[in-house]
Structure 1
Amino acid sequence: MIRVLLADDETMIRAGVRAILAADPGIEVVAEAGDGHEAVELARLHRPHVVLLDIRMPRLDGLGAAEELRTAAPGTAVVMLTTFSEDAYITRALGSGVSGFLLKSGDPRELIAGVRAVAEGAAYLSPTVARRVLDTLGGGRFSRAAEARARLEPLTGREREVVALVGAGLSNQEIAERLYVVEGTVKAHVSAVLGRVGLRNRVQLAILAYEAGLVPGA
């Protein structure tokens, strides 16, 4: 059972998200919070597998809560719930160790898929959010694509395969099954790639995969 903590200051949004997640018998919402401070305290108490954080909340926003959760609940994956009007928040969150981004108005199936993916250790980017991130990171799309391909050029063919599958939202186990290798080999590839391209986490690597055109539909 995947245990989820939901944090949003709007009661109606929390009710809607909870209803969507309730459609999956393998997901349980164990607690709800109305602000970032409460989310951090409840995460310490309940130790959920996943925390869904609204970016804009009173007292402590989602970005601040994500930072605190890195030490308060280090085994918990954090997913940001966002809207189209929060592009600047999304780009700031890329460096805060979050595991994914989901659009509040997106397809309910994406919400369930995203929660399942990050619970299994993958990064998950709603395709719509990923495109918005690429459009707002600065510089032209063409130049960023060229830069991304150049950063990935030193990688081996297998490492590029792994990067593409990370970008597609697959977990280490799923990548291992796809490539017919053991999960430890995938972990080693991901760690090596992060070090070689100078990135901190899987979400940043997924963005790079999108920029380089390695993810179908990107």
Structure 2
Amino acid sequence: MPVTVLLVDDEPLVRAGLRAVLETQPDITVVGEAADGASVIPLVRQLRPDVVAMDVRMPLMDGIEATRAVLRTVEQPPKIIVVTTFENDEYVYDALRAGADGFLLKRARPAEIVHAVRLVAEGESLLFPATVRKLAAEYGDRPGNAQARAVLERARLTEREAEVLRLMTRGLSNGEIAVRLTVGTETVKSHVSAVLAKLGARDRTQAVITAFESGFVTPS
């Protein structure tokens, strides 16, 4: 399936590098570029990209606020990957909490960049469990944790759904969870969908963050 991408970064060389990598792939097309988060919403509405690769730190509107704005105001919003220099960064954690589907390091290899774009375009989260766990341990102790606990309590997950959520926090794919639980992949997909719906989570990343911040799973 063809994938369209919007690049958002205040550094022209970064945008040029990402474009050069992505456009080597016959199924990926870069449909536009922006130098700041403030330009994202009109471009998303005009170009309707499948994926936005968004710098997390920009001068006028950073990737966190731009992510929130897109998800709040755009009907059927694109998938969002935040692009960062440092993975252990509060900005990255805040972007994931805001609804980004994952993050990618600027020093990532070309194959990793292509894989990330395809993965989120297909509806998966670009989740690095060890890093997300570390970020949650460092930056997740906030007043919002009470809200996360309330969300989890209201969700009333079944025993199997709770087990699936614990495995999600470890970064296991649907197939890996299926093997672990000795059930079919379609059964796991049903459980994951139920977990996301009950938690009100946009994707697996949001569900995992709720699991950490609520204390359902200890991030340390």
TM-score range, shorter chain: 0.7 to 0.9
The answer as to whether partners of 2:87 and 2:131 remain within 8 angstroms in 1 is no
User: Which residue identity is paired with 1:104?
Assistant: K
Q: CA deviation at 1:82?
A: 1.2
Once the two structures are superposed, residues 47-103 of structure 1 have per-residue CA deviations (whole angstroms, 9 ceiling, x without a partner) of: 010001101113211111111111225331111111227611122222211111111
Question: Where in structure 1 are there 5+ consecutive unaligned residues?
Answer: 140-150, 214-218
Residues 112 and 92 (structure 1 numbering): CA distance in 2 closer, same or farther, change over 3 Å? Answer: same
Q: Does 1:119 align with 2:121?
A: yes
Q: Secondary structure of 2:123's match?
A: coil
Q: CA deviation at 1:15?
A: 0.8
Q: CA deviation at 1:11?
A: 0.3
Query: Which position in structure 2 is the counterpart of 1:105?
Result: 107
Q: CA deviation at 1:192?
A: 2.5
Query: Which position in structure 1 is the counterpart of 2:167?
Result: 164
CA distance in 1, matches of 2:87, 2:79: 24
Query: Which position in structure 1 is the counterpart of 2:82?
Result: 80
Query: Which position in structure 2 is the counterpart of 1:145?
Result: none
CA distance in 1, matches of 2:24, 2:172: 21
CA distance in 2, matches of 1:107, 1:167: 23
CA distance in 1, matches of 2:29, 2:123: 18
Query: Which position in structure 2 is the counterpart of 1:146?
Result: none
Aligned pairs for 1:37-48 (under 5 A) are: 37-48=38-49
Q: TM-score, normalised by structure 1?
A: 0.72
CA distance in 2, matches of 1:198, 1:73: 17
Q: CA deviation at 1:108?
A: 2.5
Q: Secondary structure of 1:84's match?
A: coil
Once the two structures are superposed, residues 188-212 of structure 1 have per-residue CA deviations (whole angstroms, 9 ceiling, x without a partner) of: 4224323666756421334559x96
Query: Which position in structure 1 is the counterpart of 2:33?
Result: 32
Q: Does 1:56 align with 2:26?
A: no
CA distance in 2, matches of 1:160, 1:17: 38
Query: Which position in structure 2 is the counterpart of 1:202?
Result: 204
Paired residue total: 200
Q: CA deviation at 1:38?
A: 1.4
CA distance in 1, matches of 2:169, 2:31: 28
Query: Which position in structure 2 is the counterpart of 1:192?
Result: 194
**Aligned-residue CA RMSD (Å):** 3.7
CA distance in 2, matches of 1:58, 1:164: 38
The answer as to whether partners of 2:70 and 2:77 remain within 8 angstroms in 1 is no
The answer as to whether partners of 1:167 and 1:205 remain within 8 angstroms in 2 is no
Once the two structures are superposed, residues 109-155 of structure 1 have per-residue CA deviations (whole angstroms, 9 ceiling, x without a partner) of: 2211111111011110356743652452357xxxxxxxxxxx9xx65
User: Which residue identity is paired with 2:90?
Assistant: A
User: Which residue identity is paired with 2:167?
Assistant: A
Query: Which position in structure 1 is the counterpart of 2:148?
Result: none
Query: Which position in structure 2 is the counterpart of 1:142?
Result: none
The answer as to whether partners of 2:9 and 2:58 remain within 8 angstroms in 1 is yes
Once the two structures are superposed, residues 7-35 of structure 1 have per-residue CA deviations (whole angstroms, 9 ceiling, x without a partner) of: 00000011111112123221111101111
Q: Secondary structure of 1:79's match?
A: strand
CA distance in 1, matches of 2:52, 2:162: 30
The answer as to whether partners of 2:51 and 2:81 remain within 8 angstroms in 1 is yes
CA distance in 2, matches of 1:122, 1:74: 16
Q: Secondary structure of 1:52's match?
A: strand
Q: CA deviation at 1:41?
A: 1.2
User: Which residue identity is paired with 2:117?
Assistant: V
CA distance in 2, matches of 1:85, 1:126: 10
